[in-house]
Amino acid sequence: MQKQLKKRLEDIRKKGNYRRLRYIKPITPTQIMYNGKTYLNLCSNSYLSLHTHPDIMRAAKDVIDEYGAGTCSSRSVSGSIDLYRQLEKMIARYKGYRRGLIFSNGYMANIAIISTLTDSEDVIFSDELNHSSLIDATRLSRARKVIYKHRDVNDLEKKIKRERSTGRRYVVTESVFSMDGDIAPLSDIYELREKYGFHMVLDDAHGTGIFGQKGTGVEELFGLSGSMDVHMATFGKALGSFGAFVLSDEVVINFLVNRARTFMYTTALPASCLASAIAALKMIRHNAGYKDELWKNIDYMRTHLNAAGFDLKDSFGPIIPIVVGEDTKTLRMQELLMRKGLFLQGIRPPTVPEGTSRLRLTVVRGFTQEDMDNALETIIHAGKKMGLV
Ligand SMILES: Cc1ncc(COP(=O)(O)O)c(C=O)c1O
């Protein structure tokens, strides 16, 4: 086995696609220490910079005294700590759904939704750029998979019309695509749902806390709050904590409690995660200013990167892909930026399609004007050197 794996690793390395872990330490909400040097973190999903907010950290510390460091068993076997009920009610109300169920993370929540709710006669229509957790979930499901072109409602409709199966039909999409930063055409898909009567499953991992007047997510942006058949998102991005949730009605949630294997056969989240998520949710419900500060930074960064001539795809929101193309060129650009104190990752296949390797830059609320100006100057300089602009 080792011999074969070594050979495969060598092939990966030759393609410029080899990954190694970088061990870092956070210093401030936006800076990290790596190999003894300070970097501006340009790849955090803590969009509202809440993961180091004193009130949120305090909430986590306080409950450890009361509940301990871990739960040490699954929710089904040893009882759910009461913080679960509080958070499930809060998140369902915040997003306009009847019931909520918390999962240990978004990957497991997506596996649960798709593999548990679908059956062998069913069909899943999935956007071609859906997150790997959704792809793996469809692989685990016994339903048939139909991939439609990215954000292409005409292609989706064509494929729905062509489908002859008698089972249920599900359309699954991310709201904000995690590697492209663009938005799913939710209103158009919703119109198709009215016409064809399928079930709509939305992953709002990167929309929650950011989009819409109240910041409840991308559904709010389209005037569709609470209208998906199944909604999923995480506490581990803008909310600065950890864990994920599924929102739906009573029947769907009870079914997941009874049949979702990634819910039933895993240790429950520690109280500190739940308490920090509760604190973060209270904070963003009462403070839309955080979201507005984030959007100011997003607009500033995108406007200047666009003006410089980078290919940012159709991104809108805090995820800004800077498309480079080749894997090795992407790595060279990443190294140039790292040398100048910018920490961000080159994203390569299989995470993104061949030939579209990119730097995935994320904008957060905590950036100062100086952070952004320095980052822009460095990126534009490197972009010129690499012939990207
Ligand atoms: C769109 C999307 N869905 C699901 C997940 C998985 O969530 P988690 O990190 O909580 O497992 C992620 C990334 O982490 C994501 O980007």
| CATH code assigned to 54-286 | 3.40.640.10
Domain coordinates in residue numbering, the chain: 16-45+288-385, 54-286
Residue 373 burial (CB count, 10 A)? 13
203 given a catalytic annotation: yes
Per-residue pLDDT, averaged over 119-123, amounts to: 96
* pLDDT given at position 19: 86
Q: Whose Cα sits closest to atom 4 in ligand 1?
A: 106
Domain over 16-45+288-385 is classified CATH 3.90.1150.10 = yes
Q: Which of 131, 201, 232 to probe ligand 1 with, by most ligand atoms within 8 A of CB?
A: 131
**Residue 119: pLDDT band by 50, 70, 90 thresholds?**
very high
- b/e burial code for range 275-295 (CB count within 10 A of at least 16 → b): bbbbbbbebbeeeeebbebbb
**Residue 156: pLDDT band by 50, 70, 90 thresholds?**
very high
CA of 234 to the centre of ligand 1 (A): 7
pLDDT digits (tens, 9 = 90+) for 203-231: 999 999 999 999 999 999 999 999 999 99
53 given a catalytic annotation: no
Are the CB atoms for 56 and 209 separated by under 8 Å? no
From the candidates 127, 182, 203, 371, give the one annotated as an active-site residue. Answer: 203
Per-residue pLDDT, averaged over 243-272, amounts to: 97
150 given a catalytic annotation: no
CA of 146 to the centre of ligand 1 (A): 22
Are the CB atoms for 227 and 202 separated by under 8 Å? no
Are the CB atoms for 100 and 278 separated by under 8 Å? no
**Residue 272: pLDDT band by 50, 70, 90 thresholds?**
very high
Per-residue pLDDT, averaged over 151-175, amounts to: 96
Quote the pTM value. Answer: 0.96
* pLDDT given at position 350: 83
Q: Whose Cα sits closest to atom 7 in ligand 1?
A: 106
